[in-house]
């Protein structure tokens, strides 16, 4: 179902998407300029680690601070679960959470919201319409934009520890995983990284991040091919895509597939491959049972 919006209804829906989010918020806007009202709405998200905020901005290759000024960027850096990305070719404007999406002419720019003639189209998915075609197609395109084709400028993710024998997790802190903002905004050279380059599932779980005790570095000449082979981690397969990933029955999906699965968290949903062998499972594997029985 889609709805045409303009005027106050458009601004109200944009801020509703931020305010009502439970899992994630995506902001795709070439220009970011936060007025006091938008900051007040964002404060709800700023205070929690449970909602992931993804911001993609663009334009102004030579003077990037004209697209996202320092004060607003520093405000966003204080969030507990946030990724800020840049794409020089960005012209689209899109806002979404896990249930609603809004394609519009409106930048996340306070002046535009109050003074410009803007309009957009809202679409959503619900229990009665869980696979809205427009939402799914837009989400797939946006996922590629965020994870594969936009440069990471700043990345902070929450860190969790396992509790209750691994059945639950507890928030410990948020940690900056990547920050090239100073070099980026001042025009210095920097290493380009994309979100797909980060193992976010490992980085956010303390037990996995520090699973193995660090070993003292040795002279490379003393290593034999045999010892190097023994130190390699066993590999498995994503039960949804079939691609090679580290073998771990507790996390038998690549991050992209896991992110889609996490929207519904159905442990019995039929999957396509065996985590151990990579063989087609014809729906006989799932998050609860990722390995085919012999």
Structure tokens at 51: 């909602």
**In the prediction, which pLDDT does 230 show?**
46
Percent of the chain's residues with pLDDT above 70: 85
Residue 125 vs residue 176, higher pLDDT: 176
Instruction: Please tell me the least confidently modeled range out of 11-25, 32-46, 65-79, 244-258.
Output: 244-258
Side-chain-facing half-sphere of 142: CA atoms under 13 Å? 26
Backbone angles phi, psi at 14, to 5 degrees: -60, -45
Q: Is 175 helix (H, G, I), strand (E, B) or coil?
A: strand
Closest by CA to 212, choosing from 222, 202, 221, is 202
pLDDT in tens, 142-168: 999 999 999 999 999 998 887 765 567
Structure tokens at 183: 């070099």
Report whether 273 contacts 260 (CB < 8 A).
no
Residue 202 pLDDT > 80: no
Residue 118 is classified by DSSP as -
d(CA 285, CA 291): 6
Query: pLDDT band at residue 121, thresholds of 50, 70 and 90?
Result: very high
d(CA 69, CA 81): 20
Residue 33 pLDDT > 70: yes
Q: Is 207 helix (H, G, I), strand (E, B) or coil?
A: helix
Structure tokens at 9: 């209804």
Residue with tokens 């946030």: 82
pLDDT in tens, 237-279: 999 999 998 898 888 998 778 878 877 778 888 999 999 999 9
Q: Helix 7-19 crosses helix 36-46 at what angle (to 10 degrees)? A: 20
Query: pLDDT band at residue 208, thresholds of 50, 70 and 90?
Result: low
d(CA 87, CA 252): 31
Highest mean pLDDT among 103-117, 221-235, 270-284: 270-284
Report whether 122 contacts 97 (CB < 8 A).
no
d(CA 193, CA 199): 12
Instruction: Please tell me the least confidently modeled range out of 151-160, 175-184, 220-229.
Output: 220-229
pTM of the predicted structure, to 2 decimals: 0.70
Sign of the C-alpha dihedral, residues 229, 232, 238, 244? negative
- Say how many Å lie between the first and final Cα of the chain, rounded: 45
């Amino acid at each position: 179902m889609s709805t045409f919006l303009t005027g106050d209804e458009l601004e109200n829906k944009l801020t509703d998407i931020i305010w009502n989010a439970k899992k994630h918020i995506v902001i795709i806007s070439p220009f970011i300029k936060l007025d006091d009202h938008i900051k007040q709405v964002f404060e709800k998200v700023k205070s929690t680690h449970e909602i992931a905020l993804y911001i993609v901005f663009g334009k102004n290759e030579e003077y990037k601070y004209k697209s996202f000024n320092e004060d607003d960027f520093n405000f966003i850096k204080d969030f507990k679960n946030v990724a800020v990305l840049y794409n020089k070719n960005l012209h689209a404007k899109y806002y979404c959470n896990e249930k609603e999406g809004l394609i519009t002419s409106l930048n996340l720019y306070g002046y535009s919201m109050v003074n410009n003639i803007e309009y957009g189209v809202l679409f959503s998915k619900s229990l009665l319409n869980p696979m809205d075609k427009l939402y799914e197609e837009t989400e797939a395109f946006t996922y590629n934009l965020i994870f594969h084709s936009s440069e990471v400028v700043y990345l902070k993710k929450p860190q969790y520890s396992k509790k209750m024998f691994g059945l639950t997790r507890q928030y410990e802190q948020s940690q900056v995983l990547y920050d090239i903002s100073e070099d980026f905004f001042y025009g210095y050279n920097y290493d380009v990284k994309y979100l797909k380059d980060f193992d976010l599932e490992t980085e956010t779980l303390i037990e996995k991040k520090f699973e193995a005790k660090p070993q003292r570095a040795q002279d490379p000449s003393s290593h034999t091919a045999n010892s190097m082979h023994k130190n390699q981690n066993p590999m498995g397969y994503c039960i949804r895509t079939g691609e090679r990933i580290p073998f771990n029955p507790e996390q038998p999906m690549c991050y992209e597939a896991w992110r889609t699965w996490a929207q519904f968290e159905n442990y019995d949903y039929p999957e396509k491959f065996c985590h151990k062998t990579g063989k087609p499972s014809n729906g006989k594997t799932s998050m609860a049972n990722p390995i085919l029985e012999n």
